[in-house]
Chain A
Amino acid sequence: MSATQILFWILSVVALFSAIMVLLSKNPVHSVLWLIAVFFSISGHYILLNAQFLAIVNMIVYAGAIMVLFLFVVMLMNLNKETEPQKNLWLKLAGVVSGGCLLMILVSLIRQASEVTNKQVLLKDGNIGLIKNLGKALFSDYVVPFEISSVLFLSAMIGAVVIGKKN
C-alpha cells in the first residue's frame, strides 16, 4: 500500500466521520466546525488528485468564506444546544432508514455498473488540475460563463442585501 493510498483512506475516514458528526452534534457551532473538517479533508482529496486549484479554492471559498459566514450567522443568532429543535424519534428513524436504503441501492448499482469497472483514477499524474491549464481554459473557452457568473454574484449580493434589510 503506497503512501497515496494510505492518505486516501485516512482522508476518507476523516471525511465520513466528520460528516456524521455534523449530524450528531447537538450544538450548531460544533456542526459548523465539523463541516469545516469535512471540507478540509475533501480539499485533501483534491490535492491527492492533483487538482491544486480546486483544493485551494475549496479551502478559501468553502472552508474560509462560506463556513465563516455560517459560523457568523449561528453565533449572531446565539444558537446552542438548548435552543436546538428536535424531530421526534420516528421521523428521525424514517429519515435514517430511507437515506440508508438510498445509499445501499446506489452502492449496489455502482457495483453492477460495467462502465466503471476496471477504471483507474490518476492521482499524481496529469496536469489538468494546475492553475495554469485551468486558467487558460477558463479565460479562453469558458470566458462567457465566467463573466456571467460575475453577474450572478452581483445579483446574489443585491438579493442578500434586499432580503436582509430591515423592512
Chain B
Amino acid sequence: MNQLVYLVPLFPLLGFLINGLGRKSLSKSMIGTIGSGAILASFVVSLMLFFQVKNGAVATVNYFNFINVQNLTIPFAFQVDQLSSLFLLIITGVGFLIHLYSTAYMHEEEPQHFGRYFAYLNLFVFSMLLLVMGANYVIMFIGWEGVGLCSYLLIGFWFKNDNYNYAAKKAFIMNRIGDLGFLLAIFWIIAKLGTVNYADVFTNDSIQKLSSTDITAITILLFVGAMGKSAQIPLYTWLPDAMAGPTPVSALIHAATMVTAGIYMIARSNLLYSASEVAQNLVAIIGLATALFSATIALKQNDIKKVLAYSTVSQLGYMFLGLGVGAYTGAVFHVMTHAFFKALLFLGAGSVIHAMHHEQDIRKMGGLKKHLPITHITFLLGCIAISGIPPFSGFFSKDEILAAAFAHNPIYWGLGVAGAAMTAFYMFRLYATTFLGTFRGTQDQEHHLHESPSAMTIPLIVLAVLSVIGGFVGVPEVLGGHHALHEFLSPVLVTEQHHEIAHQTEYMLMGISVAIAAIAIIFAINKFSKKPDLQDAQGLGKTLENKWYIDELYDAVIVNPLNNLAGFFKNVVEKSGIDGIVNGVGRLVSYSSRQIRLIQSGQVGGYILFMVMAIVVIVLIWVNDGFIYKLFTK
C-alpha cells in the first residue's frame, strides 16, 4: 500500500507537466487523452487504496522533512485513511468524468488553450489530492493554496474578458482572507503543540494541553479558512462570480471538490470541534444562515449557472450545519452525494449551454426536453436528487443532517426544511423553465439545437446513476439499513452523541420534509412549465434577483473605501509626497550643480584663484598640527 500512495498525486502532476509544457506541440486528442488518462490512472490507484483501507490498512507515509527547524519538524507525508480515501475517490472519480466531458466541451478552443485548460485542470486535481492526502496541516495548506491558484487560473481562463478576470481576482482575494485565518490557526497550533501532524494533534493528550480558549480560537480560525474556501457568509460572493469559468470547471472546482475542502478540513479536525461548543454553534449558525440566504437568492436568478452556484452555496451551508451539530458523517455523506448530483447538474447545464451556443439565460430557453433527451433525463434525476426525494441520494444525506439538527435544536431543523423546500422549488423552477414549455430562443438557435456528443453524455449518465443510487451507502437504521458509510468512517470521526432520537419522530421528520419538498416541486412545475416569469421582478423579487445587494454593500463598505484610500495614497502621498521628495532631491542637485558649474568657467585665472585659496587652507591645516586629522580620530 505504501508504494502506491505517491502514485495518486503523481499522475495528475505528470499530466500537468506534459500538457503544460507541450501545449503548443501536442494535438488536441493527445492532450485530452493525457489529461483524462492521468486522472483515470489516479482513480484506479485510489480505488485500490480504498479497498485496502476498507480492509483496515491505514497508513501514514513519510517522504522527507519539508521543514526542519530546531524543535519543529514538518514532514512531507501522506495519510491515507478512511476519510481521505473517500475523498480521493470522489476527486479522482468525479474528476475523471469531468475531464472526459471537457474533451468535448472545450473542443472549440485553440490547441494551446486546450492544452492550458487541461494543464490547469490536472494541476488542480494534483493540488486537491495534496490537500486531502497531506498528513499534516501544512501539506494541506499547500494543497489549499494550490487549489486556490487553479481556481483563479480557471475562472480567468478566458482572460480576454475583463469581467472574467475581475471574477477571478475576486475569488482569489476572498480566498486569501480565509487563507489568512487558516494560516493563523496553523501558527497557533504550532505555537501551542509544536507539531502539525494529524496523528499528534488529534490525541486526547494534545487536546488536554490546549486551553478551551486555544481550542475555540483555533477552530474559529480554521472555520474562517473554511468560510473562504467553501463560500460561507460572509465570504460567499466569489462563488457565484466564479461561474465565469468554463462550465466543467464550475462542476469540478466550484461544486464537487474544491469548495468542499472546508468541509474536509473541519471533518478532519472534528476532535477539536467537538471540544469547543462555541465553534460548533458558530459553524452551525453560519451554515444554516448561508443555506437559507443563498437559497432565497437562487429563487430569482435567471442565469442557469448562477442558480446552480447559489444552490451550491446553499448545499455547502447544509454541510456546515451538519458539521456544526456534530453530524460529521452526515456532512461527509452530503459532500459525496452533492458531488454526484451537483456535478451532474453543472454538466447538464454545460450541455444545455453547449447546445444553446453559450446562451445562459433560462428565459431564452424552454422546451429543450425533446431536443436534448439524455441531458433532460439526467438533469431531471439530478434535480430530484438535490430536492431530497427518496430513494435518491440527496434524500439520505440531507435527511441525516436534518435529523441531527433536530436532535440538536428543532429550530435548526425547521429552518433547514424551509431551505430544502426552497431548494426543491428553485431547482424545479430551473428545470421547468429550461426543459418544459415552448422554446423561446431565436430561430437560428432552435435550428442548431442538438444533443451533445457521447463524451459529454456518458459522464452525465454515469453521474446520474450515481446520483440515484449513491445514497444507499448510508441508509439509516431507521429505514432498515445499516449505515455503511458511518461504520466505514467511524475510526476517524467522533460519534455523534445527539443522534439518538426516537424512530417515530424520525419517520415524522422524513415525512414532513419529503412532503414539503414534493409540494414545492409540484407547485414549481405547475407555475413555470406553462408560463415562466419572463418579466423583471419587482419588490422583494427584485432584491432577490440582485442578490440582496450584498455585492453592492461590500463594494460600498470595503472595496470603495479601500480604493479611495489607495487613490489617496497614489494621487496625494505618492504624487506630492514621495515624488516630491524624489524630484526635490533631483531638482536640488540639478540646481546646485548648475550653480557650481559656473565655477568651472574655463578661465585659468579662476582656477589659479582657487588653487591659491586651497594652498592657504592646506597650510593652515598643516600649521595647526593636523587638526583635521584629529577631527576624525578623536
Contacts and interface: CB of A to CB of B under 8 A. Distances in A.
B612 A102 contact: yes
Contacts of A108: 623
A146 B615 CA distance: 33
A109 B623 contact: yes
Contacts of B582: none
A91 B612 CA distance: 13
A96 to B, nearest CB: 11
A137 B612 CA distance: 37
Contacts of A106: 619
B619 A109 contact: yes
A112 B619 CA distance: 13
A7 B73 CA distance: 102
Interface in A79-117: 87, 91, 94-95, 98-99, 101-102, 105-106, 108-109, 112
B615 A102 contact: yes
B616 interface: yes
B616 A91 contact: no
A92 B482 CA distance: 116
Nearest to B610: A98
B613 interface: yes
Given A105-B623, A109-B623, A98 B605 contact: no
Interface string B590-634: 000000000000000100010011011001100100000000000
Contacts of B612: 98-99, 102
A167 B239 CA distance: 90
For chain B, give the interface size range. Answer: under 10
B614 to A, nearest CB: 10
Nearest to B612: A98
B90 to A, nearest CB: 93
Contacts of B616: 98, 101-102, 105
Chain A: interface secondary structure?
helix
A105 B609 contact: no
Contacts of A94: 609
Nearest to B608: A95
A98 B609 contact: yes
For chain A, give the interface size range. Answer: 10 to 19
Given A98-B612, A98-B613, A99-B612, A105 B619 contact: yes
Contacts of B605: 87, 91, 95
B619 to A, nearest CB: 5
Contacts of A102: 612, 615-616, 619
Contacts of B613: 98
A103 to B, nearest CB: 10
Most chain A CB atoms below 10 A, which of B615, B616, B619: B616
Contacts of A98: 609, 612-613, 616
Nearest to A95: B609
B171 to A, nearest CB: 74
Contacts of A95: 605, 609
Nearest to B622: A109
B205 to A, nearest CB: 87
A161 B605 CA distance: 28
A95 B619 CA distance: 18
Nearest to A87: B605
A94 B613 CA distance: 10
Interface string B386-412: 000000000000000000000000000
Contacts of B620: 105
Nearest to A108: B623
Contacts of B623: 105, 108-109, 112
A37 B612 CA distance: 27
A23 to B, nearest CB: 14
Contacts of A105: 616, 619-620, 623
Nearest to B613: A98
Contacts of A101: 616
B600 to A, nearest CB: 16
A109 to B, nearest CB: 6
A98 B608 CA distance: 10
B378 to A, nearest CB: 101
Nearest to B623: A109
A84 to B, nearest CB: 15
Interface in B555-606: 605
A101 B605 CA distance: 17
A154 to B, nearest CB: 29
B235 to A, nearest CB: 76
Nearest to B615: A102
A94 B612 CA distance: 11
Contacts of A87: 605
A144 B605 CA distance: 37
Nearest to A106: B619
A108 B622 CA distance: 13
Most chain B CB atoms below 10 A, which of A98, A108, A109: A98
Contacts of A99: 612
Contacts of B619: 102, 105-106, 109
B607 to A, nearest CB: 12
A85 to B, nearest CB: 11
B155 to A, nearest CB: 76
A40 to B, nearest CB: 28
A95 B616 CA distance: 13
B557 to A, nearest CB: 69
A102 B616 CA distance: 6
A94 B599 CA distance: 14
A102 B619 CA distance: 9
Nearest to A98: B612
A108 B620 CA distance: 11
B613 to A, nearest CB: 5
A91 B615 CA distance: 18
Most chain B CB atoms below 10 A, which of A94, A105, A106, A112: A105
A101 B620 CA distance: 10
Contacts of B615: 102
Nearest to A101: B616
A32 to B, nearest CB: 21
A128 to B, nearest CB: 32
Contacts of A91: 605, 609
Interface in A32-88: 87
Given A94-B609, A105-B619, A109-B623, 8 more contacts: A87-B605, A91-B605, A91-B609, A95-B605, A102-B615, A105-B623, A106-B619, A109-B619
Interface of B: 605, 609, 612-613, 615-616, 619-620, 623
Please provide the 3 A-B residue pairs with the shortest distance between their CB atoms, ordered closest to farther.
A98-B612, A101-B616, A105-B619
21 contacts: A87-B605, A91-B605, A95-B609, A98-B609, A98-B612, A98-B613, A98-B616, A99-B612, A101-B616, A102-B612, A102-B615, A102-B616, A102-B619, A105-B616, A105-B619, A105-B620, A106-B619, A108-B623, A109-B619, A109-B623, A112-B623
